[in-house]
């Protein structure tokens, strides 16, 4: 799963991951986002006509090009094992693959103390930026651009927290993943070129649990487990 993520680093840091050429793309500097939630507008990267990367903006909740209304069932994640065959995702998987910039995400476990939901912040070493493998679509009827994040069975260390995790694509796979000429079978194989085994995590405060809470650095500050559980 990936139901909440962060994108707080300066755009200049994130920009180094991509081959953006337009001035407005390079100069963009979004406000820090410490609790990005489904249905919010988010930036994502696609391929441009000249072969460079293109920055787009859209709803984090895929709306297929053929939909007559926004789907009510969850569309912010797509299972990588089956997305190429599912009607809601297969067209996007074939020719509209994207990268979603981030620098961390959250997952939850059940508290041994009170049964509540304990949030964990998950990130790469040095809190460096990365890209989720994603799919995107444009629905002309509803005039909605949207995207979704692909997930896969969890590997170590994420399997200690959850049975699934978002696919964090290795930069070496970016070009082939974005290229619509890459056959579906090859694109699917590219998802194994990921950084998921390099993840680290620690517990953070439960204020993250509310998607309406849009705080600052305190949202990704590790907490003392003994204090949290009153030990």
Residues annotated as catalytic are 2, 107
Beta bridge partners of 6: 104
Calpha distance 78→148 (Å, rounded): 7
Pairing relationship of beta strands 97-102 and 104-110 according to DSSP bridges: unpaired
Altogether, the residues listed in the chain come to a count of 231
Calpha distance 227→86 (Å, rounded): 45
Q: Which two tokens stand for residue 137?
A: 């679509």
Contacts with 100 (C-beta within 8 Å, 6 or more apart), sequence order? 42, 43, 44, 45, 60, 131, 132, 133, 134, 147, 149
Calpha distance 224→205 (Å, rounded): 10
């Amino acid at each position: 799963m990936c139901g909440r993520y962060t994108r707080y680093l300066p755009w200049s840091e994130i920009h180094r991951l991509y081959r953006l050429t337009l001035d407005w793309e390079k100069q963009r500097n979004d406000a820090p986002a410490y609790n990005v939630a489904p249905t919010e507008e988010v930036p994502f990267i696609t391929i441009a006509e000249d072969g460079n990367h293109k920055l787009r903006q859209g709803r984090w909740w895929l709306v297929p090009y053929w939909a007559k209304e926004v789907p009510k069932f969850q569309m912010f994640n797509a299972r990588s094992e089956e997305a190429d065959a599912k009607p809601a995702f297969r067209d996007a998987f074939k020719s509209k693959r994207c990268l979603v910039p981030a620098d961390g995400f959250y997952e939850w476990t059940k508290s041994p103390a009170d049964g509540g939901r304990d949030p964990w912040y998950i990130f790469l070493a040095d809190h460096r930026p990365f890209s989720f493998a994603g799919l995107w679509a444009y629905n002309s009827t509803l005039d909605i651009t949207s995207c979704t994040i692909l997930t896969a069975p969890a590997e170590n260390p994420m399997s200690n927290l959850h049975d699934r995790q978002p696919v964090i694509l290795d930069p070496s796979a970016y070009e082939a993943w974005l290229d619509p000429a890459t056959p579906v079978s090859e694109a699917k194989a590219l998802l194994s070129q990921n950084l998921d085994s390099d993840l680290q995590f620690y517990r953070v405060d439960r204020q993250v649990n509310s998607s309406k809470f849009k705080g600052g650095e305190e949202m990704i500050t590790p907490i003392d487990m003994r204090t949290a559980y009153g030990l």
